[in-house]
């Protein structure tokens, strides 16, 4: 099983690598298009800011590489948001794998932004959540979100109900951090690796 | 629903935990990795590792320890103690820490907060504020509580948020160690006026104290050390109690 974790300047990806190692997998951290294309699974992680992340990806033509992948791909956090069409964060056109717009949480009504902490995922319907209970807790850190849409495979609520995870064909994306979500997160990563 | 967080704090000295003694069936309670993993398995929501002897020479050792922790523990954790430059932060985040906490260095050089938020994002910048109630107000203390400043804690808390702090770890030195409960008034004031989460610290002695700080003071998280280390309160028991009393917690 060859797993590629896309290297780009956003955030630290060490936690994803450690989580995979705990499960017995070694991943290649790479921005090399050939290695990414030939991997069995591709993980697109990220904590950071949308416009600088997109600039970085475009400068290395990784935007085209990611769009054209045919194996299972998992976007995490910022990775998920970058797979949308557009992000409100610095008005950034993104990869357009999902024709959705990323919005910012409104702090009206005293909502703290970013959301930091453990929240529940509900309305689970995807092989990604095989064996995960509806209402399971996972760890979120984010200010922006993908609204509920035709691609939503898990929802979460923070002021409003939004997409905790989305899927379109072989593209999967989660807003939370499975690599930091204890046993539930490990199960989700394992499910992703075992997708048929 | 977003849950309230329970955060055990482990003090690290020369790579070993200080005060970690109660767990049975643990090979080495002085081993931060093993103790942290045990808390994670018991349902701690996050961990804080504080390097209390952080000197320049020891920082490399601490970074290696952070790597070990990140390798073995699958919940988020914050590291702090003696962090004073963006380079320190870069090293610790690259080693796998999720957040870093700054205290004295941020007070001495407030622009550090702006720099860290810009370089790494507010979500990983925790500003720790140690404060004591004297002469009818809360004052900021530095250097592990040894130096008093003329700055009011509320004022400083607002400034650090304006500069980009993503969370505040608020320790009441007036309550720390007394086991008579958290500083409810100050915690409430900050938790209800600041747009970032407040982690309350100092004073936990009973499960009721945790309930009070969530229910009455609206803290987003509560941190404690010795009552967990000495087994006076177990995390599963605490969470069951909070849940029974209507506080959203992860179970």
Pairing between strand B5-13 and B16-18?
A: antiparallel
Round to whole Å and give the CA distance between B87 and B100.
12
Contact: A118, B124; criterion CB under 8 Å: no
| CB proximity A183 to B under 8 Å | yes
Q: Residues for chain B: how many in total?
A: 251
What are residue A73's phi and psi, to 5 degrees?
A: -125, 135
A19, A22, A119 member nearest B1 (Cβ): A119
Q: How far is CA B31 from CA B40, B83, B171, in A?
A: 14, 22, 25
**Cβ–Cβ < 8 Å for B204, B149:** no
Sequence-separated (6 or more) residues with CB below 8 Å from residue A88: A101, A102, A103, A104, A144
A11, A18, A182 member nearest B75 (Cβ): A182
pLDDT band at B207 (very low <50, low <70, confident <90, very high): very high
Candidates B15, B3, B4, B8; CA nearest to B78 is B8
Domain presence at residue B230: yes
Helix, strand or coil for residue B237?
helix
DSSP 8-class letter at B122: G
DSSP 8-class letter at A119: E
Residues of B within 8 A of A114 (CB-CB) are 122-123, 166
**Cβ–Cβ < 8 Å for B29, A144:** no
DSSP 8-class letter at B248: -
Domain that holds residue A48: 3-193
Burial pattern B208-231, b for ≥16 Cβ within 10 A else e, equals: ebbbbbbbebbbbbbbbbbbbbee
**Cβ–Cβ < 8 Å for B126, B100:** yes
Contact: B166, A116; criterion CB under 8 Å: yes
Looking at the structure of chain B, the number of domains it has is 1
Query: What pLDDT score does B20 carry?
Result: 46
Query: What pLDDT score does B14 carry?
Result: 80
**Cβ–Cβ < 8 Å for A44, A97:** no
Span A13-20, mean pLDDT?
A: 92
Q: Which of A47-61, A80-94, B72-86, B156-170 has the lowest mean pLDDT?
A: A47-61
Most A CBs within 10 A among B2, B6, B43, hence the mutation to make, goes to B2
Domain presence at residue B231: yes
**Cβ–Cβ < 8 Å for B127, B106:** yes
Domain that holds residue B139: 5-244
What CATH number should be reported for the domain holding residue B237? 3.20.20.70
Residues A147-194: pLDDT tens digits? 999 999 999 999 999 999 999 999 999 999 999 999 999 999 999 999
Share of chain A above pLDDT 90, in %: 88
What CATH number should be reported for the domain holding residue A33? 3.40.50.880
CA of B9, closest CA in chain A: separation in Å? Answer: 17
Most B CBs within 10 A among A118, A136, A175, hence the mutation to make, goes to A118
Residue B2 has pLDDT above 70, yes or no: yes
**Cβ–Cβ < 8 Å for A32, A39:** no
Query: What pLDDT score does B54 carry?
Result: 60
Residue A145 has pLDDT above 50, yes or no: yes
Cis omega (within 30 of 0) for bond into B101:
no
Domain presence at residue B51: yes
Query: What pLDDT score does B101 carry?
Result: 97
Residue A109 has pLDDT above 90, yes or no: no
Looking at the structure of chain A, the number of domains it has is 1
Q: Which helix (H) or strand (E) holds A47?
A: none
Per DSSP, the residues of B99-121 read EEEE-HHHHH-THHHHHHHHHH-
Beta strands in A143-195 (DSSP E): 144-147, 152-158, 160-168, 171-174
DSSP 8-class letter at A105: P
Residue B239 has pLDDT above 80, yes or no: yes
- Helices A14-22 and B59-72 cross at an angle (nearest 10°) of 50
Share of chain B above pLDDT 70, in %: 94
- Catalytic, out of A89, A94, A100, A177: A177
pLDDT band at B24 (very low <50, low <70, confident <90, very high): low
The complex scores an ipTM of 0.92
Round to whole Å and give the CA distance between B199 and B170.
6
Q: Which helix (H) or strand (E) holds B206?
A: none
- Helices B184-193 and B153-162 cross at an angle (nearest 10°) of 30
Q: Which helix (H) or strand (E) holds A52?
A: helix A50-59
Q: Which helix (H) or strand (E) holds B251?
A: none
Round to whole Å and give the CA distance between A187 and A184.
5
Domain presence at residue B142: yes
- List, in sequence order, every residue forming a beta bridge with B222; answer none if it has no partner: B6, B200
B74, B93, B167 member nearest A116 (Cβ): B167
Domain presence at residue B250: no
Round to whole Å and give the CA distance between B182 and B209.
7
What are residue B130's phi and psi, to 5 degrees?
A: -95, 130
Residues B102-126: pLDDT tens digits? 999 999 999 999 999 988 888 899 9
Q: Which helix (H) or strand (E) holds A116?
A: strand A115-121
Q: Compare all CA atoms of chain B with the CA of A137 and give the residue at the minimum distance.
A: B250
Residues A18-60: pLDDT tens digits? 999 999 999 999 999 999 999 999 999 977 788 988 999 999 9
Round to whole Å and give the CA distance between B169 and B203.
14
Distance of CA A46 to the CA centre of its chain: 8
Round the average pLDDT of chain A to a whole number and report it: 95
**Cβ–Cβ < 8 Å for B5, B46:** yes
Q: Tell me which of A137 and B27 has the higher pLDDT.
A: A137
**Cβ–Cβ < 8 Å for B134, B123:** no
């Amino acid at each position: 099983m060859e797993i590629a974790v896309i290297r780009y300047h956003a955030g630290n990806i060490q936690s994803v690598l450690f989580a995979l190692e705990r499960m017995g997998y070694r991943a290649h951290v790479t921005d090399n298009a050939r290695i990414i294309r030939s991997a069995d699974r591709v993980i697109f992680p990220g904590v950071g800011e949308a416009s600088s992340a997109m600039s970085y990806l475009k400068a290395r033509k990784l935007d085209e590489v990611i769009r054209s992948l045919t194996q299972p791909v998992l976007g995490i956090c910022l990775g998920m948001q970058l797979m949308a069409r557009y992000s409100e964060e610095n008005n950034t056109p993104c990869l357009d794998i999902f024709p959705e717009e990323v919005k910012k949480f409104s702090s009206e009504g005293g909502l703290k932004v970013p959301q930091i902490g453990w929240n529940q995922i509900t309305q689970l319907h995807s092989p990604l959540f095989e064996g995960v209970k509806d209402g399971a807790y996972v760890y979120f850190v984010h200010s922006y979100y993908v609204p509920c849409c035709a691609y939503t495979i898990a929802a979460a609520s923070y002021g409003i109900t939004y997409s905790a995870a989305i899927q379109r064909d072989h593209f999967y994306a989660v807003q939370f951090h499975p690599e930091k979500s204890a046993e539930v997160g490990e199960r989700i990563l394992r499910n992703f690796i075992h997708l048929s | 629903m977003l849950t309230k967080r329970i955060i055990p704090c482990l003090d690290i000295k020369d790579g070993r935990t200080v005060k970690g003694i109660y767990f049975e069936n643990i090979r080495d309670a002085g081993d931060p990795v093993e103790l942290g993993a045990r808390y994670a398995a018991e349902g701690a929501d996050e961990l804080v590792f504080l390097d209390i002897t952080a000197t320049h020479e020891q920082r490399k050792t601490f970074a290696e320890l952070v790597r070990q922790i990140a390798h073995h523990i699958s919940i988020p954790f914050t590291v702090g103690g003696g962090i004073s430059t963006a380079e320190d932060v870069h090293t610790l985040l690259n080693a796998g820490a999720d957040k870093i906490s700054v205290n004295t260095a941020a007070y001495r050089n407030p622009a550090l907060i702006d720099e860290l938020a810009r370089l790494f994002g507010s979500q990983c910048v925790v500003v720790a504020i140690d404060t004591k109630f004297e002469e009818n107000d809360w004052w900021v203390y530095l250097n592990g509580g040894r130096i008093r400043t003329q700055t009011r804690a509320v004022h400083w808390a607002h400034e650090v948020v304006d500069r980009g702090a993503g969370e505040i770890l608020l320790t009441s030195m007036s309550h720390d160690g007394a086991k008579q409960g958290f500083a409810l008034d100050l915690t409430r004031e900050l938790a209800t006026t600041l747009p970032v989460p407040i982690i309350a610290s100092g004073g936990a002695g009973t499960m009721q104290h945790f309930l009070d700080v969530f229910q009455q003071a609206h803290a987003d998280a509560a941190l404690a050390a010795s009552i967990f280390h000495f087994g006076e309160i177990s995390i599963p028991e605490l969470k069951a109690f909070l849940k029974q009393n209507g506080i959203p917690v992860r179970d």
